[in-house]
């Protein structure tokens, strides 16, 4: 495992006045962020970094490295709430065999939650002044691994596999390439996404930027919560069409079946870890600016002292981003998608020294590098899926990051 760090960590967390606009506090230095409804964490600098090698046990290796790092730290924390003290932000690749998973402990973290705010610093001379964000200028899009027509063909092949009985569901993703006039400033994307999609979790971790609607797990003490999303429709052109689309989504046999697969996979993953688990009988409707989803909020209480990364390891990949059964779906994804997803649809989030944290699934996101980026969207393919409709759904999901780039 590749590791870089300032040792030993000397961590100080103090209460501060409300910073209000978290993205506006970020300097021009590899920003880190996890924001929802204006609350969460932003950070910058690196006190420690670990590149997690691929393969089985990667979440265990990540947890062991963090446990050792935090156990040896000199910590003064006058706030003592989830996200205070030393925090690591991270993102993992979707495929366990793909490289690129990373955990970073920022040198500075500014937090805001439940009417309180705090500043965590590691080492000296960590504070930097924020500079104005830079607009990326003109944006050009190009096909990613597959053209739209090629991707529709892969969807049709997946439908054939499902109808033949090989599997019940598979999620296929597609990508778009982006070239900007100037280097893409992640702070611009974070600010635009957090402003337009407050219900989502806006994140920025080591070049991966997005706003995911899907909470994989929130861990606080022994309590956990997961928001399961599966089944999607675009927003309507007006209120009447919007309501009709939502009603059709709720009534859709295909979408309800897809959602049931996702909920079942979460239940099966969490049940062995929990002394109690509550799963709603019916999904609700989550309405976002670009799409509507079927959503189920699952809550539970852990039966032992598992950290949030232990729960993430048990849950990933859920049926919402992989398929059912998992092993077969992953093989079909590798065969049909024609690309490596990288960190798209993998876990992204944060963990503190107490093992608390919030992790989402990296959806509605882009991998940013200089003036280029790679955008992703995925769709759950079922026996009744129509390739053209799935392409339209993918395009609706891509609009979130296109908005963030274009403003």
Torsion angle in degrees (nearest 10) through CA of 36, 130, 83, 225 = 20
Q: Model confidence over 323-337: pLDDT tens digits?
A: 999 999 999 999 999
pTM above 0.85, yes or no: yes
Contact 341, 171 (CB under 8 A): no
pLDDT category at 219 given cuts 50, 70, 90 is: very high
Exposure on the CB side of residue 274, measured as CA atoms within 13 A:
24
The residue to which tokens 């992703």 are assigned: 376
Tokens 């920025």 -> residue: 204
Nearest alpha-carbon partner for 193 in 30, 405, 367: 405
3-state secondary structure of 28: coil
Give 117-151 pLDDT, tens digit per residue. 999 999 865 556 678 889 999 999 999 999 999 99
Cβ-contact 181, 137 below 8 angstroms: yes
Query: Catalytic site residues?
Result: 169, 214
77-99 burial: b if 16+ Cβ within 10 Å, else e: bebebbbbbbbbbbbbbbbbeee
| Burial of 301 from C-beta contacts in 10 A (0-12 / 13-18 / 19+) | middle
Are 220 and 227 in contact, with CB atoms under 8 Å apart? no
Cα 193 to its chain centre, rounded Å, is 13
Measured CA to CA, the distance from residue 85 to residue 11 in angstroms comes to 7
Grade residue 306 by pLDDT with cuts at 50, 70 and 90: confident
Tokens standing for 402? 């296109």
Domains of the chain: 2-130+137-406 (3.60.120.10)
């Amino acid at each position: 495992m590749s590791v870089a760090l300032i040792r030993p960590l000397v961590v100080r967390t103090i209460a501060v006045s409300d910073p209000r606009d978290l993205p506006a506090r970020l300097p021009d230095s590899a920003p880190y962020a996890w924001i929802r409804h204006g609350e969460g964490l932003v950070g910058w600098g690196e006190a420690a970094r670990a590149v997690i090698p691929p393969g089985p046990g990667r979440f265990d290796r990540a947890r062991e490295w963090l446990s050792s790092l935090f156990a040896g730290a000199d910590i003064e924390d006058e706030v003592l709430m989830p996200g205070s003290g030393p925090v690591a932000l991270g993102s993992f690749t979707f495929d366990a065999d793909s490289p690129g998973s990373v955990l970073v402990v920022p040198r500075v973290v500014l937090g805001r939650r439940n009417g309180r705010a705090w500043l965590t610093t590691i080492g000296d001379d960590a504070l930097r002044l924020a500079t104005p964000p830079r607009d990326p200028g003109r944006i050009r899009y190009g096909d990613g691994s597959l053209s739209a027509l090629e991707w529709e063909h892969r969807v049709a092949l997946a439908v054939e596999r499902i109808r033949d009985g090989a599997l019940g569901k598979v999620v296929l993703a597609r990508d778009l390439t982006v070239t900007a006039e100037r280097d893409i400033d992640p702070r611009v994307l974070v600010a635009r996404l957090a402003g337009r999609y407050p219900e989502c979790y806006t994140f920025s971790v080591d070049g991966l930027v997005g706003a995911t609607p899907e909470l994989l797990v929130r861990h606080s003490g022994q309590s956990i919560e997961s928001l399961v999303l599966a089944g999607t429709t675009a927003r309507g052109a007006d209120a009447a069409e919007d309501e009709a689309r939502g009603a059709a989504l709720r009534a859709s046999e295909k979408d309800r079946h897809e959602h049931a697969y996702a909920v079942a996979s979460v239940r099966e993953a969490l049940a062995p870890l929990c002394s109690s688990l509550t799963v709603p009988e019916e999904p609700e409707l989550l309405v976002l600016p670009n799409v509507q989803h079927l959503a189920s909020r699952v809550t539970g209480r852990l039966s032992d002292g598992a950290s949030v990364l232990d729960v993430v390891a048990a849950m990933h990949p859920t049926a919402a981003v992989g398929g059912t059964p998992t092993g077969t779906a992953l093989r079909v994804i590798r065969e049909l998608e024609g690309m490596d997803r990288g960190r798209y649809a993998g876990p992204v989030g944060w963990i503190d020294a107490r093992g608390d944290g919030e992790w989402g699934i990296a959806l509605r996101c882009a991998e940013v590098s200089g003036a280029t980026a790679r955008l992703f969207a995925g769709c759950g393919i079922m026996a009744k899926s129509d390739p053209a409709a799935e392409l339209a759904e993918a395009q609706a999901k891509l609009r979130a990051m296109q908005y963030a780039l274009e403003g």
